[in-house]
Amino acid sequence: MQCFGGKGSKLFPLNPSTVFQLVLIGVALSAALAVQCGWRWRITLVFIMVALPAAFLWSEAPTGQYAGLAYLIVLGGAAIALVVGVIFGRALRIATIGTMFTFAVIFFVAASAAGLQLYRQHVPESCSGSPIHVRIAGKNLRIPPEMRPRLKNGDDIGHFGSVDRKSDFAWFCRISENGTRPIDMDTVGLTPASSHSAMTATCSGDEPPNWCSIYSPEPYRFIGNILIAPEAEPGFHLPYWKEGGSLKKDRQGDLNFGSVCLLSDADSLTQCWAWQPFGEGSRLTISTNNLDRTFDGMPIEQAREMIRQARKVALSIIDQ
């Protein structure tokens, strides 16, 4: 399986998040230099401080319902970087360590910070074609990066999503010795509704990986979440299982192996959760996508059948 467009050591293209970090470093560098320079250079450096975040927003224009928040993060981050750069530049100026040495310190700090960001998203050649090898609940899973898993072990979280996938894959390569050994995780989460397009595109390529012979976007793309987590962390809202309440629901099985569906009405869609034991001390929970109008008025048995088929596909891909 090829990741990031083929073999080879993968430094470029850069993640949007990495580019953003480099933009902040550039703003801080320009601010620190502006403190040291005369007005003629300061005008140029101020222009650079404004141009860098503006160019980033132009090239990576935020869209969707959180676009406003994205603009706020970029502009707020640039403002903070500006303040940090000015403070750093003023501190060096007060230290009176000499002009050349001051410039050397500023560029060294900026280059070190930029180098660290580039290192964090560097994927070695020996790892660039590897699935994500995870050990959870006594089982070894091999997860294609196209499934965009969210991995968690205690406080360590890796999210192989569309924004920072490359940095997290580089992190996986480092801790797994370039994919040669599994990494221990206590939680694995998949979101088929958001990852199916990447999987479908990969399987439509000239050299589809082996798992494509198992994969089918129908009904996989209608599933909202697939979660493997410790038994103590239920993957659904427990009150849905209890008797009573205003919601109409249909329950099957028990809290060890069962399912619950909320029945569709005028204000909501049919929603189902199904769970079963997974490995040693963990539970596999699958839920439908509660934002997909496909489930509007859908019979609960049809929704449950979608879950069963998607579960079979997912487990066949990752549990090989």
Residue span of the structural domain in which 50 resides? 16-120
Domains: count for the chain: 2
| Residue 44 pLDDT grade (very low, low, confident, very high; cuts 50, 70, 90) | very high
Q: What is the mean pLDDT of residues 175-194?
A: 88
Residue 286 lies in a domain: yes
Task: For 197, list phi and psi in degrees, rounded to 5.
Answer: -65, -40
Least Cα distance to 221 among 198, 189, 191, 192 occurs for 192
Q: Which of residues 120, 151, 167 is at a domain's end?
A: 120
**247 and 225 fall within a common domain:** yes
Range name among 94-98, 99-103, 241-245, 270-274 with the lowest pLDDT average: 241-245
Q: Are residues 76 and 221 in the same domain?
A: no
Does the model's pTM come out above 0.95?
A: no
Question: Is there a single domain that holds both residue 145 and residue 104?
Answer: no
In this prediction, residues 57-65 reach a mean pLDDT of 83
pLDDT of residue 265: 65
Same domain, 180 and 54: no
Question: Is the residue at 125 inside a domain?
Answer: no
What is d(CA 194, CA 149) in angstroms, rounded to the nearest whole number?
11
Spell out where the chain has E strands: 132-136, 139-143, 150-153, 156-159, 183-184, 187-190, 223-230, 249-253, 258-262, 271-278, 282-288
Q: Which residue type sits at 151?
A: L
What is the per-residue pLDDT across 189-241, written as a single tens digit (0 to 9) for each? 999 988 899 899 999 988 898 999 999 998 999 999 999 999 988 888 888 88
Does residue 1 form part of some domain? no
CA distance 271 to 305: 12
Place of tokens 């198992």: 214
Considering the domain architecture, whether residues 148 and 296 belong to the same structural domain is answered as: yes
For residue 159, what are the β-bridge partners? 150
Confirm whether 166 is domain-assigned.
Answer: yes
Q: Return the pLDDT at 226.
A: 95
Q: Closest Cα partner for 222 from 287, 319, 161? A: 287
Q: Quick check: 268 pLDDT over 70?
A: no
Question: Of 69, 96, 120, which residue constitutes the final position of a domain?
Answer: 120
Summarised one tens digit per residue, pLDDT across range 238-263 is: 888 877 666 788 899 998 999 999 88
d(CA 170, CA 176): 10
pLDDT of residue 125: 76
Looking at the fold, whether 225 and 81 belong to one and the same domain comes out as no
In a domain, 253, yes or no: yes
Choice between 61 and 284, residue whose per-residue pLDDT is larger: 284
Residue 183's DSSP bridge partners are 134
Which positions ≥6 away from 99 have C-beta within 8 Å?
A: 36
Is residue 29 situated within a structural domain? Answer: yes
The number of beta carbons lying within 10 Å of the beta carbon of residue 292 is 15
Whether residues 61 and 187 share a domain: the answer is no
For residue 122, pLDDT over 90 is answered with no
Are 195 and 141 found together in one domain?
Answer: yes
| pLDDT tens-digit readout, 11-23 | 667 778 889 999 9
Residues 100 and 245 in one domain: no
pLDDT at residue 137 is higher than 90: yes
Mean pLDDT of the chain: 85
Residue 281 has pLDDT above 80, yes or no: yes
In a domain, 211, yes or no: yes
Asked if 24 and 69 sit in the same domain, the reply is yes
The last residue of a domain, from among 120, 144, 178: 120
**Residues 218 and 260 reside in one and the same domain:** yes
In this structure, the answer to whether residues 205 and 232 fall within a common structural domain is: yes
Residue 266: predicted pLDDT? 54
* Position 59 pLDDT exceeds 60: yes
Q: Which range, of 11-15, 86-90, 169-173, 276-280, averages the lowest pLDDT?
A: 11-15
Q: How far apart are the first and last CA of the chain?
A: 14
275 in a structural domain: yes
AA identity, residue 89:
G
DSSP string, 286-308: EEE-TT-GGGTT--HHHHHHHHH
